[in-house]
Amino acid sequence: MRPVIGVISDVKQVGGHTVHGVTEKYIYAVARGAQAMPVLVPGTISAVDDDMTPERVVIEEILDLCDGIFLPGSPSNVGPQHYGDRPHDPPLPADPHRDDISLPLIRAALERGVPLFGVCRGFQEMNVAMGGTLFQKLYEQPGRFDHREDSSLDIEGQYAPVHEVALEPGGLLESLAGAPRWTVNSLHGQGIARLAPGLAIEARADDGTVEAFRVPDTPGFNLAIQWHPEWRFWQDRLSSAVFTAFGAAARLRAEGRRAGARELAAV
Catalytic residue, candidates 120, 125, 147, 202: 120
Q: How far is Cα 242 from Cα 117, in angstroms, rounded to an integer?
A: 9
125, 168, 202, 230: which is the annotated catalytic residue? 230
Q: What count of other Cβ atoms lies within 10 Å of the Cβ of residue 164?
A: 15
Find the catalytic residue in 97, 147, 188, 228.
228
Per the annotation, the verdict on 230 as an active-site residue is yes
- φ, ψ of residue 187 to 5 degrees: the values are -140, 40
Burial of 90-127, coded b for 16+ CB within 10 Å and e otherwise, reads eebeebebbbbbbbebbebbbebebbbbbbbbbbbbbb
CA atoms within 13 A on the CB side of 161: 16
Contact 73, 228 (CB under 8 A): yes
Radius of gyration of the chain (CA): 18
- Catalogue the active-site residues: 120, 228, 230
